[in-house]
Structure 1
Amino acid sequence: MNFLLDNWIWLLTAIASGAALMLPNLGKGGGADAVNPNGAVQLINREKAVVIDVCEPAEFAAGHIGGARSIPLGQLEGAKGLPTNKTLPLVLVCASGMRARKAAAVARKLGHERVHVLEGGLAAWREAGLPVEKTA
């Protein structure tokens, strides 16, 4: 007991360090799996994943993944563009990944079983050298 009292500052530092290491994992949206661009391509090609872009319409028009469906985050609940087959994998995309994490929680709430968030968003997709489409 004296050891703990004599070394309380080190104990507090260890607890704070452990909490800081776990914090990023606690923020992952709705239990969704993060997937890198290559993993997303595999899901799209092998498992017919549906790509949902949750950006605003102007952002979507400026650039999006080919074949992606545009459903802004605010319209996700009750959107008709979501697949009715809730076992199909969904890959949720936004500019950086933040809105996609929030959308993942909504998709899970709506009953979708396989929800993935594109890690780093469209920026990571572009950085990987993958194609981006623009809408006129």
Structure 2
Amino acid sequence: MGILDFLFGNKSKKIQDFKSRDAIIVDVRSKGEYDGGAIPGSKNIPLQSISSNISQIKKWDKPVIVCCASGMRSASAAGILKNNGIEVMNGGGWFSLSKKL
């Protein structure tokens, strides 16, 4: 186990675990950013709209992987979802996440 795995956990393993359970990928960038390139099949719910979409996200009854451009907005979104009882992980930047999927 490398030092980064020890400190931050193995994100690739967690992504694979979430994927194996049909996780939904939510991209929290703006619509304009999302339209410029995104992970196929992901859903675009901008960060400022996450709180108002909690009930819809809960209805999916699946784990959620959030992503954005760098991982900052998705970290905020992950916190909001986790505080609302949704199993979530921060996938970080969408482009790097797409390579791990």
What TM-score results when the alignment is normalised by the length of structure 1? 0.57
- Structure 1 residues 69 and 34 mapped into 2: Cα distance closer, same or farther (>3 Å)? farther
Post-superposition offset of 1:84: 1.4
Unaligned runs of 5+ in 1: 1-24, 131-136
Please give the alpha-carbon distance, in whole angstroms, between the structure 2 residues aligned to 1:47 and 1:117. 16
1:56-67 to 2 correspondence within 5 Å? 56-67=30-41
Post-superposition offset of 1:57: 0.2
Identity of aligned residues (%): 24
Of 24, 32, 35, 1:50 maps to 24
Of 60, 83, 95, 1:123 maps to 95
1:18-37 to 2 correspondence within 5 Å? 35-36=11-12
Higher strand share: 2
Please give the alpha-carbon distance, in whole angstroms, between the structure 2 residues aligned to 1:83 and 1:115. 11
Post-superposition offset of 1:66: 1.1
* Residue matched to 1:100: 74
Of 32, 40, 59, 2:15 maps to 40
Unaligned runs of 5+ in 2: 1-6
Secondary structure of the structure 1 residue equivalent to 2:29: coil
- Listed one character per residue, the Cα deviations across residues 5-64 of structure 1 (whole Å, up to 9, x for unaligned) are xxxxxxxxxxxxxxxxxxxx7xx9xxxx8834x7535522x1100111000000110111
> 4+ runs of 1 displaced by more than 2 Å?
33-36, 38-44
Secondary structure of the structure 2 residue equivalent to 1:104: helix
Q: CA RMSD in A?
A: 2.7
Please give the alpha-carbon distance, in whole angstroms, between the structure 1 residues aligned to 2:100 and 2:26. 20
